[in-house]
Amino acid sequence: MRTDDTAGGSDRDTRWDAAKFIVDARGRRCPLPIIELARRIGEIDLGATLALWADDPAADLDVPAWCRMRSQELVMTRALPMGGTAYLVRRLT
């Protein structure tokens, strides 16, 4: 699991720094990024966050849908400089 968050820059929201870890699902196709997310969310405490990295175009839709179906919170997203998207997800249940 990669932990080097290479997306620096002054406009970056500091909430990303509180993420417990990064789940790097880049290169994995639907539905694998969501399965990775579901597997790892249980490893963090209620109220804590993790970051999911994915470059599958379906993740843009399926991450919010999964959060809705599983009553978790998608806090925010940002584009990754090397391609793909980071999703900051908070565990609520």
Partner 1 sequence: MGNVPAYLDHASTAVLHPTAREALLAAIDDGWADPARLYRDARRARMLLDASRETVAGVLGARPDEVSFTSSGTQAAQLALLGAARARRRSGTRILVSAVEHSCILHAAEWHENAGGLVSTVGVDRFGRVDPVGFAPPPDTAVASLQHANHEVATIQPVAAVADLLRAAGVPLHVDAAMSLGRIPVDVTALGADLLSASAHKFGGPAGVGILVVRTGRRWVNPLPADEREGGRVAGFPNVAGIVATAAALHARTAEITAEAPRLAGYVDRLRTRLPRLVPDVEVLGDPDPAGRLPHLLTFSCLYVDGESLLHELDRAGIAVSSGSSCTSDTLTPSHVLAAMGALTQGNIRVSFGRESDTADVDALLTVLPDAVARIRERAGVAGL
Secondary structure class of 80 (helix, strand, coil): coil
By CB under 8 A, residue 92 contacts partner 1? no
CA distance 40 to 54: 14
CB atoms within 10 A of CB 59: 27
Q: Is 79 in the site for partner 1 (CB under 8 A)?
A: no
User: Toward partner 1, which CB reaches closer, 12 or 92?
Assistant: 92
**Does 44 contact partner 1 by CB under 8 A?**
no
Strand partners, 73: 90
- Residue 55 CB, shortest distance to partner 1, in Å, is 11
Size of the residue set binding partner 1 (CB under 8 A): 17
Select 16 or 28, whichever has its Cβ closest to partner 1. 28
30 an active-site residue?
yes
Starting at the edge strand found earlier in the chain, the sheet holding 73-79 runs 22-24, 49-54, 85-90, 73-79
